[in-house]
Amino acid sequence: MVDPAALSPPRLENLGLSRERPLVIVDVDEVLGLFMKGFGGFLAERGYDFRIDRFALFQNIYAAGAAEHLDLETGRALFNEFFAGHCGEIEPAPGAIEALNRLSRRAEILILSNAPPQAEQLRGAWLRKHGLSHPLILSSGPKGPITAGLVAQTPQRTAFVDDLLPNLDSVAEHAPGTATYQHVADERLRPLAPSAPERHPRIDDWAELAAAIEQAVSR
């Protein structure tokens, strides 16, 4: 099912974004921020183990010492609690703030995050806390449709950064003119993350990634 927001994405001008400059769309969790580290600390405070042994979320949550992961309903409740009250406590990904500041000198930056609606205030405050005054859109589901609606509003070059291969493939399908890049911030996740570098360059160093994006949107 397509996210309703994707059917009528916000107008760039209403977000304070210029059509005269390239547009770079960036994810938050495991791209700009260390979500797994923050969520793991939140779980530990509640007596749970967060064992990152697969590229998954709820299947990595265990009761202390348990052999089987928590049921998905309990995991989802913890996830929602984290986003409702604690997602503003995560650390920035190494080099991310500096890279976005660099990119913002020549491109418009839009933050597109798949997160529950209750996270909007905390997530926006987290961005501002770290000097990132870029507009934020919360979405859900594959990011291709909403990205297509956004990039269709500008004649300039566009780029998209995410950690999840399905989102990258979705954007490539719906907005094929957009340069796509994969970035996985947590070093524990990097060897576990599915990638397709022949379709989406995988660049886990933000300085290198910023240079690649600059080149892509400046052609």
Distance CA 133, CA 48 (A): 34
Q: What is the pLDDT of residues 122-177, one digit of tens each?
A: 999 999 999 999 999 999 999 999 999 999 999 999 999 999 999 999 999 999 99
Across residues 91-100, what is the average pLDDT? 98
pLDDT at 3: 43
Looking at every residue in the chain, the average pLDDT score rounds to: 94
Pairwise CA distance, residues 83 & 117, whole Å:
9
Q: How confident is the model at residue 2 (pLDDT cuts 50, 70, 90)?
A: very low
Confidence category of residue 107, pLDDT binned at 50, 70, 90: very high
**Domain boundaries, given as residue ranges, for the chain:** 4-34+92-218, 35-89
**pLDDT average, residue stretch 67-71:** 94
98 pLDDT more than 80 = yes
- Which residue type is seen at 97? I
**4-34+92-218 under CATH 3.40.50.1000, yes or no:** yes
Torsion angle of alpha carbons 83, 86, 89, 92, nearest 10°? Answer: -10
Cα gap 217→77, rounded to integer Å:
40
Which pLDDT score is estimated for 1? 33
Average pLDDT over residues 102-117: 96
Cα–Cα distance measured from residue 124 to residue 110, given in angstroms and rounded to the nearest whole number: 12
Residues 168 and 112: beta-carbon distance below 8 Å:
no
Higher pLDDT, 3 or 63: 63
Place of tokens 């594959």: 142
